[in-house]
Amino acid sequence: MDLTIGPNAFLWETDVVRGFYRDLAATPAARVVIGEWVCSKRLPLWQAAILDAVEALLAAGKEVAISSLALVTLPMERQMTRDLFDMGLPVEIADLTALESLPQGHPFWVAPVVNVYNEGTLDWLARKGATRICLPPELPLSSVAVLARAGRERGVAVEVWGHGKAPLAISARCYHARLHDRPKNACMFVCGEDPHGRAVETLEGDGFLTVNGVQTMGFAVTTAARQIAALREAGVSALRLSPQPGDFAALVGAWDSALAGGGDGLLDELRRIMPEDAFADGFLDGKPGMAAAG
Amino acid sequence: MASRSPLLAALMRLPPPAPVLMAGSHLLTRLGRKMAGRHPGMIARLGPEAGKRLLLDATDLPALILLQAEPLSLRLFPRRAAAPPSDAQITGNLAAFLAMLHGESDGDALFFSGELSISGDTSAVLALRNALDDAEIDLAAEFAALFRAPETVVRRLAVVAGPRLGLSLTRMEALP
Amino acid sequence: MMELVCPAGTPAALRTAVEAGAHAVYCGFADETNARNFPGLNFSRAEMAEGVAHAHARGAKVLVAINTFPRAGDADLWHRAIDDAAGAGADAVILADMGLLDYARRAQPQLRRHLSVQAAASNADAINFYAREFGVKRVVLPRVLTVAEIDEINREITVETEAFVFGGLCVMAEGRCSLSSWTTGLSPNMNGVCSPASHVSYETTPEGQDARLGGVLIHRTPAGGPAPYPTICKGAFTSPDGAGGRQTGHIFEDPVSLDATFLIPMLQKAGVRALKIEGRQRSRAYVAQVVRTFRAAVEAADRGAEMPVGALAKLTEGQASTTGSYAKIWR
C-alpha cells in the first residue's frame, strides 16, 4: 500500500500552492493528482502554478495525473475538460463528461466523486481503460474488500480515501457566495478566505459540515488511520491523502511511517500535527461518516 | 367545511366512563379485523413495522386510540390518565385524520402545515400512512360491512352527515 | 404534447395517477433497488405486473426506477429487478449505475433505458456518452441547469430529455450527495433513502418542535408553524465567519420545493420531451391534485395558453416554492 495525494479542494494563493507542491515533492508520496476539480472559476487564479508543480513532482519521481472538474455544465467547462487530454499526463476523471473526449488508449484514473459502488461498474470502467480508481468515501469496508479484489483481477489499482475532509456533495449553487450574500457570478472568490473551508455548525454549536464554494464536505477530517491493517488485508493498493493547510509534509511522513509499521499511534500523531482538526472514521465501519474516530 | 355542531362538541368533552371505553375498544378492534380481512395487502405492507404500537391523538376526541396491527387491536384510553406506552404518536384533529384516511388530504401536507404532528418512531408512522393510503379505506363501507348493512345506504348517509359534522366519513373520490 | 411522468409509491397511487391524466407513471420495487425505499411503500412483483396491465389498458406507460447503485458483491438483487421489470411489461427502466446500464443493455436489450437523475448527466458531452455507450433513449436532467442551458443541451443531443417541474428539490447534484450517510450511515445511492425515517426523531419543546436526524438538530419549528422534511440540505445551521461574526439560517436552501409550472412553455420550447413530478413518498391525495393540475398545464402549454399558477401551494414543503436552478439567479 502506498500514498496518493489528491487534488487540492480549496482555493489557495498561488504562492501557497507553489510552496505546497515544492514541499510535497520531497515527501514519500508515490503519486499526486493535481488540478481544479471544484470550481472552474478558480482555475485562472492558480493555473500558472500547475505546470511548475507538475515538473517538480515528476523530477522527484512521482507519478502525476491531472484532475477534471467534478461538475461540468458551462461550455467553457466542457472545453476545459477536453483540453486536459492535451497535457500529456494521465487524466483523473471526476465526472463522466471527460470520457466523451478520451482519446483511444489514453490511460485514465477515476476520482472518488465518481460513483463506483460495485464490480459491474469497476469492470466497465476497466474495459474503457481505467487503471486506477479511488473509491467513494461513503463505501463500507465490506464493499471496499469486494472492489479491491475485483480491481486486482482486472489490473486496476484500487484506492481508498485515507485522510481529508470528505467531499460529500456538489451543487450548482455556491454556498460560500450565499453566506456572503453575493451572487455566484460576482463571488469575488470569497472561498479563498477559508483555506480549509468554512465551518457549518449545528444550532447546538457542534461542528457538522464544511462549505467549500459549490462543494460541501464533512467538518471532521475523514481518516482511515484506525483501519490501515484492514485495508491492507483487503488488498487496497493506495490511500489517498487530501491536501489541507498546516504541515502537510509532516502529515504525509506520518502516514508513510504508519504504512511501513503497523499504523499504531497514527491517530495520536495526526492530532499532534493538525491540532485544530477533529477526526471521523464512520464510513468504513458502515456507520454514520461523522462518527468520531478513536 | 361546515363547523362542528355544538351538541356534538359538548358530548366530545365529557370524560368517557370505563364501560364505554371498553365497548368502544371492542367495536374498533372488530372494525379493524374486518378491514384487515377486506384489504389483505394492508398488513403485509406494514412489513416489520406491523408490531409497533401507535398512539392516535385526535385532539377533539375524548379518548386516545392505541393501534397495533399485529396482533391487531385498537384500544381506547381516557385522555386524563397517563398515556399508555407506545412506539409512535400522531396528533391532529379528527377532521385531519379522516381526510387523510379517505385520500382527501395528503399526510405530508398536513405535516408541513403543522395540522398533524408526529413523535417517536417515524418509520412506524410512515408505514401505517402508506399502508392505509394504498388500501383505499372507506370508513362508511367498512362499518356497513361490519354490521352487514347495505353499503350504498350507509355511504349515502355519510355523504349527508359528513359536511354537517365537518368530517370526511366516506371516500368522495369513489362515489358511484 | 409533452409527456407527464407521475410518481406512484403504491398501486393505489398508480391507479390514481392514471385516472388523473398521467401519460406515464414511475414506480419501484419494495427494496433497496429504488431511491424511495421507504417503509410501507413500493411494489411487489405481482403488484408491478398488475400496475403495468392497469396502466396499459388505459393508454399510460409505466417506468420502473432501479436507480440506486448496486452493493458490491450483491448485484443480483438489482439484476433481478431489471429482469422482473421486463417481465412485468414495463415500458422502460430508469437507471443510474454504469454497471447496471451495461447489464440491462446486454440482458434485456429490448427494454428501453432511461438515465436517472441520480446519474447527474449535466451537459451534452455526458449525455451523448451515456447514449452511445449504453443506448439510453431519455435522460432525466439533474436539477443544476438553467432553462437556457437545457435548450443548448437539446441542440447537441439526439436522445429525449425529461425535466422535473414539481415536488421535493434536491439542492445538490443528485446521486452525488453523501450528506445523509455522513449523518445516518444510510444514503440515497446505497440504500435508496435520504434522511431515513428510522433516524428521524421529533421532540416537543416549550418553544415548538425539534427535528433531529441521527441525533443532529436539523430544525427548530415554532409550535404550529410550517414544518419541513428533516433533510440536511434544508436544515438550519450556523457558520462562524472567522472574524467573530456568524451567519445562522438555511445555509444551503430554505425549506421550499420546486414548482416550475410557469416555465412549462419555456421548457417545451427548449425541446424537453417529458415533465416529471417528484413524490413517490406522497399520498394518492397529492398524486390526484398535482397530476390533474399539471395535465391541465401541459395541455394549456400545447395550446399556447396561460399557465395556471399557485394552485398547489399547500402541498409543498414549507408551503413555499422556487423554480430552483432553472432561473440563473438561484445559483
Which tens digits make up the pLDDT trace of A218-253?
999 999 999 999 999 999 999 999 999 999 999 999
**8 Å CB contact between A72 and A97:** yes
Q: Determine the Cα–Cα distance for residues C249 and B50; give it in Å rounded to an integer.
A: 38
Q: Is B114 in contact with C282 (Cβ distance < 8 A)?
A: no
pLDDT at A262: 76
Find the residue in C nearest to B48 (Cα): C39
pLDDT at C203: 87
**Among the partner residues B41, B100, B119, nearest to C202 by beta-carbon distance:** B119
Chain C residues whose beta carbon lies within 8 Å of the beta carbon of residue B113: 226, 314, 319
Beta bridge partners of A109: A92, A132
Q: Which residues contact B37 (CB under 8 A, 6 or more apart)?
A: none
Q: Is C144 in contact with A71 (Cβ distance < 8 A)?
A: yes
pLDDT at C319: 63
Higher pLDDT, B13 or C134: C134
The total number of structural domains in chain A stands at 1
**8 Å CB contact between C243 and C254:** no
pLDDT score of A139 more than 60: yes
Q: Which residues contact C39 (CB under 8 A, 6 or more apart)?
A: B47, B49, B123, B124, B126, B127, B130, C197
Which of A180, A284, A290 is the best substitution to test chain C (most C C-beta atoms within 10 A)? A290
Assigned domain for A294 exists: no
Q: Which parts of chain C register pLDDT below 70?
A: 310, 317-319
Edge-to-edge strand ranges of the sheet holding B72-78: B72-78, B63-69, B53-58, B88-92, B116-120
pLDDT at C317: 67
CB atoms closer than 10 angstroms to residue C224? 12
Nearest in space to A114 (alpha carbons), one of C135, C126, C119, C132: C119
pLDDT at C225: 74
pLDDT score of B3 more than 60: no
Q: Which residues contact A58 (CB under 8 A, 6 or more apart)?
A: A64
Write down the residue that cell numbers 381526510 correspond to. B99
**Among the partner residues A70, A115, A216, nearest to C69 by beta-carbon distance:** A115
Q: Is C242 in contact with A193 (Cβ distance < 8 A)?
A: yes
pLDDT at C25: 98
CB pairs under 8 A between B and C: 107
- Cis previous bond, C196, omega within 30: no
Domain with CATH 3.20.20.70 in chain C: 3-169+256-330
For residue C195, the one-letter residue type is: S
**Among the partner residues A75, A185, A289, nearest to C182 by beta-carbon distance:** A289
Segments in A4-133 forming alpha helices (H): 14-25, 43-46, 48-59, 75-83, 119-128
Q: What is the mean pLDDT of chain A?
A: 96
Q: Determine the Cα–Cα distance for residues A167 and A221; give it in Å rounded to an integer.
A: 10
pLDDT at A30: 98
Q: Determine the Cα–Cα distance for residues B41 and C14; give it in Å rounded to an integer.
A: 16
Q: Which residues contact C244 (CB under 8 A, 6 or more apart)?
A: none
**How do the domains of chain B map onto residue ranges?**
6-137
The CATH number of domain C3-169+256-330 is 3.20.20.70: yes
**8 Å CB contact between A158 and A147:** yes
Q: Which three cell numbers stand for residue B39?
A: 384489504
| ipTM computed for the complex | 0.97
pLDDT at B175: 59
DSSP secondary structure, C294-319, as one string: HHHHHHHHHHTPPPP-STTGGGSGGG
Find the residue in A nearest to C150 (Cα): A73
Percentage of the residues of chain A whose pLDDT score is greater than 70: 100
Nearest in space to C254 (alpha carbons), one of C180, C312, C200, C321: C321
**Among the partner residues A73, A125, A288, nearest to C149 by beta-carbon distance:** A73
- Chain C closest-CA separation from residue B147 CA (Å): 26
A139: left (phi over 0), alpha (psi -120 to 50) or beta: beta
Q: Which three cell numbers stand for residue A287?
A: 456507520
Find the residue in A nearest to C216 (Cα): A202
Assigned domain for A237 exists: yes
pLDDT score of B2 more than 50: no
Between vectors from CA C171 to CA C170 and to CA C177, what angle results, nearest 5°? 75
pLDDT at B1: 40
pLDDT tens digit sequence for C273-322? 999 999 999 999 999 999 999 999 999 999 999 887 767 777 776 667 78
Which of C32, C125, C155 is the best substitution to test chain A (most A C-beta atoms within 10 A)? C125
Between vectors from CA A74 to CA A73 and to CA A79, what angle results, nearest 5°? 110
Average pLDDT score over residue span B94-117: 93
For residue B165, the one-letter residue type is: L
**8 Å CB contact between A133 and A122:** yes
Physical contact, C and A (3 or more Cβ pairs within 8 A): yes
pLDDT score of A272 more than 50: yes
CATH of the domain at A101: 3.20.20.70
Assigned domain for A181 exists: no
pLDDT score of B176 more than 80: no
**8 Å CB contact between B112 and C318:** yes
Higher pLDDT, A93 or C230: A93
Q: What's A220's DSSP letter?
A: S
**8 Å CB contact between A70 and A37:** yes
Domain, as residue range, for A121: 2-164+222-276
Q: Determine the Cα–Cα distance for residues A252 and C190; give it in Å rounded to an integer.
A: 31
Q: Determine the Cα–Cα distance for residues C111 and C99; give it in Å rounded to an integer.
A: 16
pLDDT at B79: 87
Q: Determine the Cα–Cα distance for residues C294 and C288; give it in Å rounded to an integer.
A: 10
Chain C residues whose beta carbon lies within 8 Å of the beta carbon of residue A193: 242
pLDDT at A169: 98
Average pLDDT score over residue span B124-132: 96
CB atoms closer than 10 angstroms to residue C209? 20
Nearest in space to A34 (alpha carbons), one of A58, A59, A1: A58
Q: Is C182 in contact with A101 (Cβ distance < 8 A)?
A: no
B84: left (phi over 0), alpha (psi -120 to 50) or beta: beta
H or E element in which residue C250 lies: none
pLDDT at A294: 78
Average pLDDT score over residue span A76-85: 95
Higher pLDDT, B174 or B93: B93
Kind of pairing between the strands at A108-110 and B63-69: unpaired
Per CATH, the number for B6-137 is 3.30.1050.10
Nearest in space to A157 (alpha carbons), one of A246, A33, A18: A33
Assigned domain for A204 exists: no
Nearest in space to C191 (alpha carbons), one of A45, B146, B121, A286: A286
pLDDT score of A6 more than 80: yes
Physical contact, C and B (3 or more Cβ pairs within 8 A): yes
DSSP secondary structure, C73-135, as one string: T-THHHHHHHHHHHHHT-SEEEE--HHHHHHHHHH-TTSEEEE-GGG---SHHHHHHHHHHH-
